[in-house]
Structure 1
Amino acid sequence: MISLRRHVLTLVAVFLALAVGVVLGSTSVATSIRDAVVDREETTAGHLEAAQRELGQSRLANDRLGALAGDLTPAVVDGRLADRPVLVVVAPGASAEDVDAVTEAISLAGGIDAGRIRLTDRAVEPEADSELAALVANLPIGDSPAGDADMGAQLGTALGRAGLLRGEDAEPHLDDEDRATVLTTLADAEMIAYEPGTIRPGQLAVLVTGPGVDEAAAVRTASLARTLDSEGAGVVVASAIGAGPGQDAVLVLRSSGQDDASTVDNAGTAAGRLATVLALADQLERGQGDYGLRHDATAAAPSLPPAQTR
């Protein structure tokens, strides 16, 4: 028979062995966990370092390509808009820097500054629809827009008649007095803003908009652009790539399948400004395209005509 003392010693030995096993086991598990965490941290740090290195290389390449486009722009665009008056229309949300840069690029191409008209927030707000419709109906613009035309088309008709030359013969739609009446009335109603005495009829128009706006505003701006295109010799809608909360007129135009106004989605870059000028020149021949870096662009810029051989 096993004595009580021996039985107790046996139980103590068993529990001691279990305790030692638990300690050794937990130590082994902890070591394994620690090693796994260290390995994962080293792997993550390696991936992060590689990603940062790749991002830096991409930024460097983008900067160099942008600098190259900026260096080439004067030579490439020289004379392409010679003696062509170009009206600049600025939509809400457009960057003043982008507007100035596009205007400068037009000047490099020999284009004539036909002035700058800024659309106010009221021009794209549905709350002002009834007032805008009443204004346009009473303006001296000749044939009024169709009764079921949306407000973008209504405002685009008024601006096109007052701010552009006819596409078919490059003659003004209106005489100087009626042009002044249209622009002054729209400005007094706070639909547009411009510096008096600076607007002359443009043969072409470029509409600069922001990278992301309210959907209704984007739709109205796109409609206005299409209408300006029909009133003049051509329109280019330029927007900067951005992470805006909404969409822009460029996206609306491209998704609609229209083939009238040209679009540029990277106006905030030197390459985008080059594309804008080339697209304006292409519009004179009724060429149309969607240019830039977005997935729905068809090319980075319009193709250059073949060089003349001597």
Structure 2
Amino acid sequence: MIDFRYHIVSLISVFLALAVGIALGAGPLKETIGDTLTGQVEQLRAEKEDLRAQLDEAENDEAAAEAVVSAAGQRMLAGALPDRRVALVLLDEVPEEQVTAIGERLGEAGASVSATVTLTDAWTDPGLRTYRQALAGTLVSYLETPPPADAGTEAELADALVQGLVGADGAAPDTVSENAATLLELLSSGDNPLLSVAGDVTAPADAVVVVAAPPAQDPEPSPSADTGATTQDAELAVVDASQRLSAGAVLADGRRTPESLTSAVLGDADRAERLTTVSRTDDVTGQVVVPLALAARIAGENGHYGFGDDLEPLPPAVQLPPVDRTPTTPDAPAADGDAGAAGDAGAEGEG
């Protein structure tokens, strides 16, 4: 049994050790310990300053590289998309500076942005599934070319969106058709609008750029319009419809990750053969590539552009013919060539 004397001895030992430590620290070892700590602090400070200098140098190098790419891009883009009208479809919220930069690059290529629309949360909210199904049933009656009966709600909504953006009045090709205007109105109105539209859409698009939103913190798929579907399925349906119903489409994605839309496209052999993707469009390099990739897709050249496995740095150079917007009547078939009417997919050649 441990008695009181054992505790006394233990306490004395502790205080003796403490006293010896204080005596040595304040005496013979004082300078040694102080010098050691001072040296370690100075070393850490020097390492921090060196890392800061390296970071500043890397940032300066990146800024210089971006300036070169930006300047070279103006020359590369000149005339790539002559007189084409391009609709931007934003999959959820995309940084304004990224949207502006892509629009400016399209302008440098000779194109104009005919519309900018953003999918709202209602596009994929599981709680609004019944509402979307009912709305899709109404929208189908305004589609020039309805999807197959078993296509599903996601495909019907995607077709309605794209036809609303590219549908042209045959007698006045620079004006959106009545059905197209109705489709956009139905999609962007009501208590649960599926779209937000920036400004008025007065001219039909020839082509579409679908811009992916930055990745969410939680990459887990969420249920979407149909049983077993995910948000990614709904977004891919929009990319599918954009390519099928316009003269050409490009998916402007961020950095490629296992969860990115680019990875989903490349993981599907059928989609990989017919859908064009551009990665890292959140920086200047990808933004310059978007108009070049769109021009190539309109010309029938499909590809996946960026840096990494299965990606090419640049699309092939192409020369697009002038746009043909000849008015048509029921008795006069549409002229061959690039047209902005809905359903005129691959008017300039689709691969």
Give TM class, smaller chain. 0.7 to 0.9
In the alignment, the residues of structure 2 paired with residue 242 and residue 80 of structure 1 have an alpha-carbon distance, to the nearest angstrom, of 26
> Equivalent residue for 1:253?
265
Q: 1:58 to 1:305 in 2, by over 3 A?
A: farther
Q: After the TM superposition, which residues 206-225 of structure 1 pair with which residues of structure 2 at under 5 Å, given as runs? A: 206-213=209-216, 215-216=221-222, 217-225=231-239
Q: Which runs of 5+ in 2 are unaligned?
A: 1-18, 223-230, 320-351
Q: Which runs of 5+ in 1 are unaligned?
A: 1-18, 167-171
Contact 1:94 1:209 in 2 (8 A): yes
> Equivalent residue for 1:115?
115
Q: How far off is 1:50 after superposition?
A: 2.7
> Equivalent residue for 1:7?
none
Task: Between 296-305 and 186-195, report the one with greater CA deviation.
Answer: 296-305
Given candidates 160, 163, 177, the residue that maps to 1:161 is: 163
Q: 1:219 to 1:26 in 2, by over 3 A?
A: farther
Question: Scaled by the length of structure 2, what TM-score is found?
Answer: 0.66
Task: Between 32-41 and 207-216, report the one with greater CA deviation.
Answer: 32-41
| Letter of the structure 2 residue corresponding to residue 264 of structure 1 | V
> What's the RMSD between the two structures over aligned residues?
3.6
Q: 1:30 to 1:159 in 2, by over 3 A?
A: same
Q: 1:63 to 1:30 in 2, by over 3 A?
A: same
Q: After the TM superposition, which residues 116-265 of structure 1 pair with which residues of structure 2 at under 5 Å, given as runs? A: 116-139=116-139, 140-149=142-151, 151-164=153-166, 176-189=177-190, 190-194=193-197, 197-213=200-216, 215-216=221-222, 217-240=231-254, 248-256=260-268, 258-259=271-272, 260-265=274-279
In the alignment, the residues of structure 1 paired with residue 165 and residue 148 of structure 2 have an alpha-carbon distance, to the nearest angstrom, of 20
In the alignment, the residues of structure 1 paired with residue 183 and residue 24 of structure 2 have an alpha-carbon distance, to the nearest angstrom, of 90
| Letter of the structure 1 residue corresponding to residue 120 of structure 2 | T
> Equivalent residue for 1:169?
none
In the alignment, the residues of structure 1 paired with residue 318 and residue 119 of structure 2 have an alpha-carbon distance, to the nearest angstrom, of 35
Q: Secondary structure at the match of 2:242?
A: helix
> Equivalent residue for 2:288?
274
Task: Between 282-291 and 83-92, report the one with greater CA deviation.
Answer: 282-291
Task: Between 226-235 and 284-293, report the one with greater CA deviation.
Answer: 284-293
Q: How far off is 1:110 after superposition?
A: 0.9
> Equivalent residue for 1:58?
58
In the alignment, the residues of structure 1 paired with residue 58 and residue 292 of structure 2 have an alpha-carbon distance, to the nearest angstrom, of 26
* Identity value in percent: 22
Work out whether 1:69 is the aligned partner of 2:69: yes
In the alignment, the residues of structure 2 paired with residue 129 and residue 72 of structure 1 have an alpha-carbon distance, to the nearest angstrom, of 47
Runs of 4+ deviating beyond 6 Å: 22-32
Q: Secondary structure at the match of 2:282?
A: coil
In the alignment, the residues of structure 2 paired with residue 182 and residue 119 of structure 1 have an alpha-carbon distance, to the nearest angstrom, of 14
Q: How far off is 1:155 after superposition?
A: 1.9
Q: How far off is 1:292 after superposition?
A: 3.6
In the alignment, the residues of structure 1 paired with residue 305 and residue 46 of structure 2 have an alpha-carbon distance, to the nearest angstrom, of 37
Q: Secondary structure at the match of 1:98?
A: helix
Q: After the TM superposition, which residues 4-23 of structure 1 pair with which residues of structure 2 at under 5 Å, given as runs? A: none
Q: 1:296 to 1:146 in 2, by over 3 A?
A: farther
Question: Scaled by the length of structure 1, what TM-score is found?
Answer: 0.74
| Letter of the structure 2 residue corresponding to residue 62 of structure 1 | E
| Letter of the structure 1 residue corresponding to residue 265 of structure 2 | L
In the alignment, the residues of structure 1 paired with residue 312 and residue 152 of structure 2 have an alpha-carbon distance, to the nearest angstrom, of 31
Which protein has the bigger helix share? 1
Q: After the TM superposition, which residues 97-108 of structure 1 pair with which residues of structure 2 at under 5 Å, given as runs? A: 97-108=97-108
Q: How far off is 1:25 after superposition?
A: 10
Q: 1:110 to 1:47 in 2, by over 3 A?
A: same
Residues 13-59 of structure 1 show CA distances to partners (whole Å, capped at 9, x for unaligned) of xxxxxx99x97799777776655545544443343333222211111
Task: Between 217-226 and 105-114, report the one with greater CA deviation.
Answer: 217-226
